[in-house]
C-alpha cells in the first residue's frame, strides 16, 4: 500500500506511488469530482474524470462514480498522477496580491470588506473574482466558499466559510431569517418617511445580449426591503436598507420602482444624473453593505460585523453636507 498523504501536502500526490487521503470535516459533503479538482491543482479535469471512470480512484476500497458525496472519515485512494504541476511557492509568486480588509476571521469564518468594482467570483468574461483570488493567496485553506454574494459594484461585508459545516450553518441561518443585513445607499430625490417597508415581487429576465435584468412583476418572487431615512438634502437622501429577503438586485430595483434610483447605478439608475455625479467626484454606485448580524456558525454566539463607508462615498456625503 502507498503512504498516507495529508491534504496540506498535495504535491506528494503527484509522485509515482499511490496516495491515500482521509476525508476531514472540511471536505465532508462534497462531490468527489469537485474535491479532486481542488485537491489535484493543475491536473486537467478530463484526466480526473478518466481516473474516476476507470476505477483508479477508490473510496473505502470500492469504486465510486463522479457524483459520490464524501463522508467524514472516508479513505480515498489516489493513483499516481504523472501530470506536472507548479510548486505552491512558484504558483504564489505569480499571483498578484490583492489586499482585502479583514473584518473577522477564525477557523470557521472569514469576513472581508469587498471593494467596489471586483466581482465575487469569475465568469462572464471575468477570469478571477474575490473567491478565486483568496484561494490563490491562501493555498493553506483546505476549504473556502462564498456564503452569499454582492454585486460587482457594491462594496462592503462579504462572508466566506472556511468549513463546510460552517457554510451549511450560515445558509440555514439565512433561510431562517436569523441574520440582519443592512446597506447604506444614496438615492435621487427627497425621501419623506422615516421608515418604509417595500414588498414588491421581483422577476428576473435575460436580454437578447445576455444581460441579466430584474423588474417588479406580480408573478415574481416575494421580495421585502425596509428603508430607514438617515439624512436628507433637497436632491438626495441617505438611506439604510434592511434586507428581509435576498433577491438579485433587490435594493436597486425596489428603489427604482419607487422613483428613487441609486446614485451612480449604471443599470437601473438615472444615466443623465450619473454623468453629472461623475464630474462631482462620485464615480461608482452608492451602495455599501455596512452591517451584518448573525449567529456564529459554530458557537451560536451573536456576531456583529461592520464596515464603514469607503472614503469616496463618505467624501460625497460630506460634500452634500457642506463639510468640504
Specify whether 16 is catalytic: no
What does the buried/exposed string (b/e) look like for 143-170 if buried means 16 or more CB atoms within 10 Å of the residue's CB? Answer: bbebbbbbbbbbbbbbbbbbbbbbbebb
CA dihedral over 34, 35, 40, 46, signed as positive or negative: negative
Q: Are strands 180-188 and 195-199 parallel, antiparallel or unpaired?
A: unpaired
CA distance 122 to 148: 15
Which among 113, 151, 265, 270 is annotated as catalytic?
151
CB 179 within 8 Å of CB 291: no
CA distance 197 to 167: 30
CA distance 249 to 251: 6
**Overall residue count recorded for the chain in this entry:** 324
Active site positions, annotated: 151
Amino acid at each position: 500500500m502507498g503512504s498516507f498523504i495529508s491534504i496540506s501536502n498535495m504535491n506528494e500526490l503527484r509522485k509515482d506511488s499511490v496516495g491515500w487521503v482521509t476525508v476531514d470535516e472540511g471536505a465532508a459533503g462534497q462531490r468527489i469530482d469537485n474535491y479532486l479538482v481542488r485537491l489535484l491543482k493543475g491536473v486537467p479535469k478530463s484526466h480526473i474524470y478518466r481516473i474516476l471512470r476507470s476505477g483508479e480512484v477508490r473510496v473505502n476500497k470500492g469504486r465510486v462514480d463522479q457524483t459520490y458525496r464524501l463522508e467524514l472519515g472516508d479513505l480515498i485512494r489516489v493513483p499516481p498522477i504523472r501530470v506536472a504541476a507548479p510548486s505552491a511557492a512558484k504558483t504564489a509568486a505569480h499571483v498578484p496580491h490583492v489586499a482585502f480588509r479583514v473584518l473577522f476571521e477564525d477557523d470557521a469564518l472569514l469576513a472581508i470588506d469587498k471593494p467596489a468594482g471586483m466581482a465575487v467570483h469569475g465568469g462572464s468574461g471575468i477570469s478571477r473574482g474575490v473567491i478565486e483570488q483568496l484561494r490563490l493567496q491562501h493555498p493553506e485553506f483546505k476549504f473556502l466558499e462564498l456564503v452569499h454574494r454582492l454585486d460587482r459594484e457594491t462594496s462592503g461585508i462579504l462572508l466566506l466559510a472556511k468549513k463546510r459545516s460552517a457554510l451549511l450553518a450560515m445558509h440555514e441561518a439565512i433561510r431562517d431569517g436569523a441574520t440582519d443585513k443592512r446597506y447604506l445607499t444614496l438615492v435621487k430625490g427627497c425621501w419623506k418617511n422615516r421608515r418604509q417597508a417595500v414588498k414588491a415581487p421581483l422577476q428576473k429576465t435575460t436580454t437578447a445580449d445576455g444581460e441579466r435584468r430584474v423588474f417588479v412583476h406580480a408573478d415574481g418572487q416575494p421580495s421585502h426591503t425596509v428603508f430607514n431615512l438617515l439624512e436628507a438634502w433637497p436632491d438626495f437622501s441617505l438611506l439604510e436598507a434592511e434586507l428581509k429577503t435576498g433577491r438579485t438586485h433587490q435594493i436597486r430595483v425596489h428603489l427604482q420602482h419607487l422613483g428613487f434610483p441609486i446614485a451612480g447605478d449604471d443599470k437601473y439608475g438615472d444615466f443623465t444624473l450619473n454623468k453629472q455625479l461623475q464630474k462631482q467626484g462620485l464615480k461608482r454606485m452608492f451602495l455599501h453593505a455596512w452591517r451584518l448580524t448573525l449567529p456564529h456558525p459554530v458557537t451560536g454566539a451573536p456576531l456583529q460585523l461592520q464596515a464603514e463607508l469607503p472614503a469616496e462615498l463618505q467624501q460625497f456625503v460630506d460634500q452634500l453636507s457642506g463639510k468640504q
